[in-house]
Chains A and B, each alone.
Chain A
Amino acid sequence: MDNSILLRTRRALAVLIALFGFILPSAAFADALDDAFSKLFANQFSQTEQAIVDITAASPPRGAEILDALGDGRLYIDPLNKRVIYLTPAGDAFDAKTGAKVDGVDGLKKVRVNNGVRNALEAAVGALSVGAADPQKRIHAAQDLFNNPNPKALAVVDAQLAKEKDESAKLALEQARAAIVASTPDASAADATRAIAALAQRGDEAAKNDINAIAVKYKDPAIAGAAKSAIAAIDRSLFAWGLAQNGWYGLSAASVLLLAAIGLAITFGVMGVINMAHGEMVMLGAYATYVVQMFVPASMADWSVVLALPVAFLVSGAAGVVLERTVIRYLYTRPLETLLATWGVSLILQQVVRTVFGASNRQVYSPPFLSGAFHVGGLEITQNRLWIILLSGAVFAMLLFVLRATSFGLQMRAVTQNRRMAAAMGISTTRVDMLAFALGSGVAGIAGVALSQIDNVSPNLGQGYIIDSFMVVVFGGVGNLWGAALGALTLGLANKILEPIIGAVQGQIVLLVFIILFIQKRPRGLFAQKGRAVEQ
């Protein structure tokens, strides 16, 4: 009983001293530090924890080094000379108080550390760096404090706020302060009002929780009202950002679908042939990425994904040509059997890859520009998804160009519209078939490169996308790039909009049922071909 009162007084004292320590920098340091260090000499965990708080509050010039050393087990007491010594990672010894280098001391005892001490240290290091010179570090420290509010750090935050010049650091500190207020049971009403204002400005889920935490503690109707309107405002903005985020996810899902399906739209459109092995062309592209990465020298590793794009295009394109020449061209008049034969090819390709590379997933390296995320307001944008969207846009534009502006594209469109008429006009339909198949498969290979960044590279990779790709093509209508794009966009967005409402699996099922019903109304897709070629 006595002891705890003593402890509490000491704590209050330490905070007081800390406050004064900031206001009257010079002399107070020494006293507070001495006090803190004296606790270290006891070398008991509870005392050490207390010392950490004191050191943080005092915020001496070498505070960070001392606490770091303590965490790493490099802090020692020298009972003979009543000194505290810390070692640098390099092994040099310094006096913790004066900062002077110490040589050849014996009888040092290590300050012991347990989990309680480590927790205290973690909070303390965060609080300490609130006073760091670099504003970026201060912001970071304030954010840490926001996430793990520590009532003991309030004094430090206040002190820093009083002299803070940097606007964004000030904002972060104010939010950290609000979180601390939310986590202390006995903050003043003024503090609470101030905290609610700061949290309302932050406006995310965590802020909402903190406001709720504050609201339950105060009976004051003014505070309750402020909290209520703040939460309502936060909910509105969260909802809007949530919509935007889902839209982004939908766009990203659509871009993946488009990449996987657009090659299919070409082959299906030109030849009326269902290529069940299309998913395996995607898979080959992903494995091509893996192989390229193995052969690229370390200095170029970051660019291996870019390098893999043309390689994957060629590998999958070549596989497509082989498939067309050896199997599909004999089956043009029997589309249903093409479906079976290409399914067989897909089984063989899967097993080939499984035999060569093994059944387990392969790791494909993600370069820095494809990993991580950044925020736009409340929107989290992952880099790899962003690049995949750009890539699918680029592929789409390129295909559009090929189809619209090259003579091969013209021939392809002619064959799509009316094969026999095109042949009569002197177009070599077999050559167009082969090249179109190469193009469609090559684009699938590019899709594989993109998928290697967001999905597991395994022999089954293609299987996961083939049915969705078919849905895109069926929905959009064959032989029409815009149809494929619109189909992918609709399905991708609808999927991600339905997902939070009825769950991911249910959403997909609803879409499948929708397409089954849709195809009743428009059996040839959104952009159906018109004219005599349709009835075959």
Chain B
Amino acid sequence: MSRQLDFAGWIFVAVMALAAVLVPLATLGTPDGAALHVPTYLVQLFGKYLCYAILAVALDLVWGYCGILSLGHGAFFALGGYAMGMYLMRQIGTRGVYANPVLPDFMVFLNWHSLPVAWWGFNWFAYAMLMMVLVPGLLALAFGWFAFRSRVTGVYLSIITQAMTFALYKEFFRNDFGFGGNNGLTDFKDILGFSLQSDAVKAGLFSISAVALIASYLISRAIVRSKYGKALIAVRDSESRMRFLGYRVENIKLFAFVVSAIMAAVGGALYVPQVGIINPSEFAPGNSIEVAIWVAVGGRGTLVGAAIGAIAVNFAKTYFTGALPEYWLFALGLLFVCVTLFFPLGIMGVLSRIRFRRKRSEVATGTAT
């Protein structure tokens, strides 16, 4: 099993690395209409999927390997996105509707006269990136510390993570909270001086997302294969036993939870410049639950499967909402039901079962002759 996963993992890394190199070449190096040309909108679309895949890998790390079904991972994703969005807002400068060099448009619109403290420093990319890691990381640390220490587990944990994202969802909706309220942050112009509208930047963001996905996969893989990873899996399978064996279960869980939250935030930060907007709907509890189904479809506890599931489900979503909009919820709902009932191991589980059967039949025929 593990050797097969390894095989699938290396294929995945190779495919992603190839995509990171070839897609920019195919979209920038070939003229429109050429056989190998990749249109820009596809680059953006798949760039978005890659960010979702990072989020899915992050969730798989805690759910698949530690049994923590977080229904609030969308919140970490969105927080990372907001950090990036705030940087991009500050870059607009005088090109906004109100041409205020310091205040983003929505603040001028709300008659604010000075920049709120929370926004200070976001004109520096490095500071924004630091916040992108720190804010979700610290939130996860505080939340996880409280939750794991008092042994909130199972569905209870799922529900309070959902409450967490729901609270943030409501908070970010308020204009007074200072992050653009209902409309969120949008109308971005450029990143690090490069225009977000240019094809080269779009292709570049795609490549960076692909590399980030590879990195999250490799980091997660390293974590779960380490000695610590073994303890993590043991906690998933029998928490009480691990505790009686003398492990600090809460610390084991907390580490995975924080790493996972930061990973999700990175996905969110890469997501925002590619879709051009971040608003409170990213915090909606439904979004976070959807992430769980991406992981379940791909196969949880496999990492590669989570990424594949995220890309596959979102590809299907794009197709359905375009072609048969009224059937998408049916399809998604059925996916939730059928995967949990009939394919609890997801795509990866089905694949490995097929390989397993073939091998067994080979062995069987081998002994017969």
Return chain A residues, CB-CB under 8 Å to B167. Answer: 508-509, 512-513, 516
Tell me, rounded to whole Å, the shortest Cβ–Cβ distance linking A524 to chain B: 8
Cα-based distance from A354 to B330 in the complex (angstroms)? 11
Contact B333–A348 (Cβ < 8 Å): yes
CB distance from A481 to the nearest CB of B (A): 19
**Are A508 and B154 in contact, CB atoms less than 8 angstroms apart?**
no
Q: Does A16 lie at the interface of the complex (its beta carbon under 8 Å from any beta carbon of B)?
A: no
Nearest-neighbour CB distance to chain B for A516, whole angstroms, equals 5
Query: Is B146's CB under 8 angstroms from A345's CB?
Result: no
Task: Give a binary string over A498-536; 1 marks a CB under 8 Å from any B CB, 0 the rest.
Answer: 000000011011001101110111011000000000010
Binds B, one of A157-165, A330-338, A374-382: A330-338
Decide: A340 near B293, CB < 8 A? Known: A516-B160, A519-B160: yes
Q: Does A81 contact B (CB under 8 A)?
A: no
Smallest CB separation, B103 vs chain A (Å): 24
Report the separation of the CA atoms of residues A347 and B159 in the bound assembly, to the nearest whole angstrom.
18
Beta-carbon contact of A343 and B289 below 8 Å? yes
Complex Cα gap A509–B167 (Å): 5
Q: How far is the CA of A323 from the CA of B137 in the complex (A)?
A: 39
Instruction: Let me know if B341 and A336 touch, CB within 8 A.
Output: no
Question: Is B147 at the interface (CB under 8 A from chain A)?
Answer: yes
Q: How close is A134's CB to chain B, nearest CB, in angstroms?
A: 51
Q: A508-B170, A516-B146, A517-B146 are in contact. Are A336 and B155 (CB under 8 A)?
A: yes
Q: Is B190 an interface residue (CB 8 A)?
A: no
Given A327-B341, A344-B336, A516-B146; A274-B158 close (CB under 8 Å): yes
Q: Are A520 and B341 in contact (CB under 8 A)?
A: no
List, in ascending order, chain B residues with CB within 8 A of A516's CB.
143, 146, 160, 163-164, 167
Known contacts: A327-B341, A336-B69, A523-B152. The answer to whether A350 contacts B160 by CB under 8 A is: no
A336-B69, A467-B166 are known contacts. Are A474 and B160 too (CB-CB below 8 A)?
Answer: yes
A344 and B334: CB pair below 8 A?
Answer: yes
Over the window 376-398 of chain A, the binary record of Cβ atoms lying under 8 Å from chain B Cβ atoms (1 yes, 0 no) is: 00000000000000000000000
A509 to B293, CA, bound (A): 27
Q: Does B150 contact A (CB under 8 A)?
A: yes
Is residue B156 within 8 Å, beta carbon to beta carbon, of the partner chain?
yes
Residue of B nearest to A331 (CB): B340
Closest to A276 in B: B289
CB-contact partner of B337 in A336, A344, A509, A535, under 8 A: A344
Contact of B240 (CB < 8 Å), options: A272, A505, A519, A535: A535
A1 to chain B, nearest CB (A): 48
Contact of A348 with B150 at beta-carbon distance under 8 Å, contacts A340-B293, A340-B340, A505-B170 already known: no
Do A327 and B156 contact each other (CB < 8 Å), given the known contacts A343-B289, A467-B285, A515-B163? no
| Complex Cα–Cα for A521 and B334 (A) | 38
Within the complex, the shortest CB–CB distance from B192 to chain A, in Å, comes to: 35
Nearest B residue to A355 by beta-carbon distance?
A: B326
- Is A125's CB within 8 Å of the partner chain B? no
Residues of chain B from 114 to 173 with CB closer than 8 A to chain A in the complex: 143, 146-147, 149-152, 154-156, 158-160, 162-164, 166-167, 170-171, 173
- Report the minimal beta-carbon distance from B142 to chain A, rounded to whole angstroms: 10
Distance in angstroms between the alpha carbons of A512 and B166 in the assembled complex: 8
Residues of B within 8 A of A350 (CB): 329
Given the known interface contacts A351-B330, A467-B166, A520-B149, the answer about A341 and B337 at a Cβ–Cβ threshold of 8 Å is yes
Q: How distant is the Cα of A24 from the Cα of B193 in the complex, in angstroms?
A: 92
- A339 on the B face (CB < 8 A): yes
Counting chain A CB atoms within 10 Å of each CB, which of B154, B159, B164 scores highest? Answer: B159
Residues from chain B with a CB closer than 8 A to the CB of A321 are none
Question: In the docked arrangement, what's the CA distance between A355 and B159, Å?
Answer: 30
Q: Does B347 sit within 8 A of A, measured CB to CB?
A: no
A339-B158, A516-B146 as given contacts; A345 in contact with B240, CB under 8 Å: no
- Alpha-carbon distance A535/B239, docked complex (angstroms): 11
Query: For chain B residues 301-353, which have a beta carbon within 8 Å of chain A?
Result: 326, 329-330, 332-337, 339-341, 344
Residue of A nearest to B158 (CB): A339
CB neighbors of B among A324-373 (8 A): 327, 330-331, 334-341, 343-348, 350-351, 354-355
Cα distance A341–B333 when bound, in Å? 8
Complex interface residues of chain B between 156 and 215 (CB less than 8 A to chain A): 156, 158-160, 162-164, 166-167, 170-171, 173-174
Instruction: In the A-B complex, list the 4 residue pairs whose CB atoms are closest, starting with the nearest.
Output: A344-B336, A348-B333, A347-B333, A351-B329
* CB<8 Å pairs between A and B, sample of 24: A276-B289, A335-B155, A336-B158, A339-B155, A340-B292, A341-B337, A343-B289, A343-B336, A344-B334, A344-B335, A344-B336, A347-B332, A348-B330, A348-B333, A351-B333, A354-B326, A355-B326, A474-B159, A505-B171, A512-B167, A517-B146, A519-B147, A519-B160, A521-B150
Knowing that A340-B336, A341-B341, A345-B337 touch, tell me 15 more A-B residue pairs with CB under 8 angstroms: A336-B63, A339-B158, A340-B292, A346-B333, A354-B329, A355-B326, A470-B159, A509-B170, A509-B171, A512-B164, A516-B143, A516-B163, A520-B150, A523-B150, A523-B156
- Interface, chain A (partner B; CB < 8 A): 272, 274, 276, 327, 330-331, 334-341, 343-348, 350-351, 354-355, 467, 470-471, 474, 505-506, 508-509, 512-513, 515-517, 519-521, 523-524, 535
